[in-house]
Amino acid sequence: MVITMTNDSDTSSNTARTWFITGSSQGLGRALAITALDRGDRVAATARRTESVADLVDRYPGQAIALELDVRDESAAHRAVEHTLAAFGRIDVVANIAGYGLFGAVEEATDAQARAIFDTNVFGPLNVLRATLPVLRGQRSGHVLQGSSLYGQSAHPGVGLLAAGKYALEGLSDALAAEIAPLGVKVTLIEPGYMETGFLSHLVFAAPTPDYDPTVRAVHSSLGELPPEAFIDPARVAAAVVTAVDAKHPPLRLALGRAAEDGIRRTLAARVRELDGWTDVARSVDVAPAPQGA
């Protein structure tokens, strides 16, 4: 692939950026696209079906392009990047938002279900990164937004496979951030709580096993009973993400919503307590230094 770009070495909050957004047809991806377009930025809105984002092109002529992209297809990611560069000349923000949820006990998930969610939620972002990072590296600037969630730091019964993909995304992003920071490229993991995006209605479910009813099914029931105020507005999440993109020193992790922040704090505190409680055992495996004078 031949990559063309402008000579600009960086952009600021006062300069129009070019966004490459996956999952732009709904939820946070669409909210991000609209927020960016409303502030005068340019957006390559990608989705599996271009008709689902065609209205953005009509509403924001010259600012938005609609591109077909199934993130599971690496060649499609490269084609979408080529079209973006042809239209806008550069890419400043890559937003890996496309993904979905699988609900069920770890044992209940079939091999096909497990592989399918990893294909979209882990290998999908990898495909997009392989296509976009050469552009950002060449510019020596840019920002990668990784669509994680509170399940990237914490898990409960029923979300094992969903959390596994988010944990994987967070691990590779920790390494990625250190790898590309010297090249002028930033990384932020977006960790929202439950959003008003039909989260529960869009879940894929594993076939139930009665032994897991007291845990997995009980959790699903409790999620269905959450009050409306427990779900955060994607537009507010998008505005918060843009604030991070505008920051001179953006966070590596951005927890959004009280449920996400409180849940992640509880998880991290529990890990530290357990680590403290097992310090003696942890250090017992170290090789003791040789006595002085021996």
Tell whether 236 is covered by a domain: yes
Residue 199: pLDDT band by 50, 70, 90 thresholds?
Answer: low
Measured distance CA(109)–CA(211) in Å, rounded: 14
Instruction: Give the model's pLDDT for residue 7.
Output: 36
- Chain length of the chain: 294
β-bridge pairing 42-47 and 18-21: parallel
Measured distance CA(147)–CA(99) in Å, rounded: 8
**Mean pLDDT across 246-262:** 97
What would the DSSP string read from start to end of 227-244? -GGGSBPHHHHHHHHHHH
Backbone angles phi, psi at 42, to 5 degrees: -105, 145
Instruction: Give the model's pLDDT for residue 229.
Output: 86
Task: Spell out a b/e string for 176-187, using b for 16 or more CB atoms within 10 Å of the CB, else e.
Answer: bbeebeeeebbb
Tell whether 240 is covered by a domain: yes
Tell whether 287 is covered by a domain: no
Tell whether 212 is covered by a domain: yes
For 255, the 3-state DSSP assignment is strand
279 burial type by CB count under 10 A (0-12 exposed, 13-18 middle, 19+ buried): exposed
Q: Indicate if the pLDDT at residue 10 is higher than 70.
A: no
Instruction: Give the model's pLDDT for residue 109.
Output: 98
Task: Please write the tens of the pLDDT for every residue from 130-175.
Answer: 999 999 999 999 999 999 999 999 999 999 999 999 999 999 999 9
Percent helix / strand / coil, the chain, rounded to 5: 50, 15, 35
For 262, the 3-state DSSP assignment is helix
**Mean pLDDT across 194-220:** 88
Tell whether 203 is covered by a domain: yes
Residue 201: pLDDT band by 50, 70, 90 thresholds?
Answer: low
**Which structure tokens are listed for 158?**
């029923």
Q: Is the Cα torsion angle 257, 128, 53, 167 positive or negative in sign?
A: negative
Q: Indicate if the pLDDT at residue 36 is higher than 90.
A: yes
Amino acid residing at 73: D
Tell whether 286 is covered by a domain: no
How many folded domains does the chain comprise? 1
Q: Indicate if the pLDDT at residue 191 is higher than 90.
A: yes
**Mean pLDDT across 122-127:** 98
**Short-list 133, 100, 130, CA closest to 118:** 100
Provide the residue range defining the domain that includes 193. Answer: 18-278
Instruction: Give the model's pLDDT for residue 3.
Output: 37
State the CATH number of the domain containing residue 245.
3.40.50.720
| Largest Cα span, the chain | 81
Q: How many helices (H) and strands (E) does the chain have?
A: 10, 9
| Cβ proximity of 104 and 97 under 8 Å | no
Tell whether 247 is covered by a domain: yes
| Cβ proximity of 189 and 144 under 8 Å | no
Measured distance CA(168)–CA(151) in Å, rounded: 11
| Cβ proximity of 97 and 27 under 8 Å | yes
Tell whether 48 is covered by a domain: yes
